[in-house]
A and B are shown apart, each in its own frame.
Chain A
Amino acid sequence: MKNPLDSLWGTVISGVVLTAVLYVFARNFLG
């Protein structure tokens, strides 16, 4: 599988996905 960080679009999309994951974590699990 190709590393998404090899392309700029892959890097940006990975960053957006990570933002969504961390947001769900912060919204539901942090006081």
Chain B
Amino acid sequence: MENIDLVAALSRWIHFMAGVMWIGLLYYFNFVQVAALKNAGADGTAAGITKHVAPRALLFFRWAAVVTWLAGAALLGPLFVDAFLLRNGMGPIGIGAWLGTIMLFNVWVLIWPNQKKILGMSPASDEEKNKARRVAFLASRTNTMLSIPMLFFMAGGWSHRALFGL
């Protein structure tokens, strides 16, 4: 077996595992935690989530995003540039790669810094917290929306070439 095959196989494996953790936690936040926090706020039990669950979930969430992206880049290997320039038959997977990259940006630039303010991990006034809540919420929802085409192009971009007439 060529060394490059081994790197690709390991990268694909890690890319999938980390991706499952990243997108799994993203769906947890959007489909479970947002609604749960609304109800928990009403009966005064929100602290259980914001103190014990959310920080731990965010830790695995943001680092899984980094590992997913790096393993994806390693998997593309010499085709990395072709993918991001959407050329030489790498267009569909390239669209997936661009969507994943935008999502990584949202995690580290919009979601995490604002979640730190919301959860009291960095200082913020009530007004700043309210603004942070809206920005983090919309960035998280944007990532949920982007995950739908991202998974379509990631899953179908390479092996289902006929779908794209390639």
Contact = CB atoms under 8 A, between A and B. Distances in A.
B1 interface: no
A5 B152 contact: no
A1 interface: no
Nearest to A5: B141
B108 interface: no
Given A6-B141, A15-B148, 14 more contacts: A3-B138, A5-B141, A5-B145, A11-B141, A12-B144, A15-B144, A15-B145, A15-B147, A15-B149, A18-B148, A18-B149, A22-B149, A26-B164, A30-B87
A31 B52 CA distance: 49
Interface in B84-107: 86-89, 91-92, 95
Interface string A1-31: 0010110100110111011001101110011
Contacts of A26: 91-92, 95, 153, 164
Contacts of A23: 149, 152
Interface of B: 30-31, 86-89, 91-92, 95, 138, 141-142, 144-149, 152-153, 164-165
Interface of A: 3, 5-6, 8, 11-12, 14-16, 18-19, 22-23, 25-27, 30-31
18 contacts: A5-B138, A5-B142, A5-B145, A11-B144, A12-B148, A14-B145, A15-B144, A15-B145, A15-B146, A15-B149, A18-B145, A18-B149, A22-B95, A22-B149, A26-B91, A26-B95, A27-B164, A30-B92
A16 B62 CA distance: 25
A3 B30 CA distance: 16
A31 B88 CA distance: 6
Given A5-B141, A11-B30, A22-B95, A30 B148 contact: no
B112 to A, nearest CB: 19
A16 B148 contact: yes
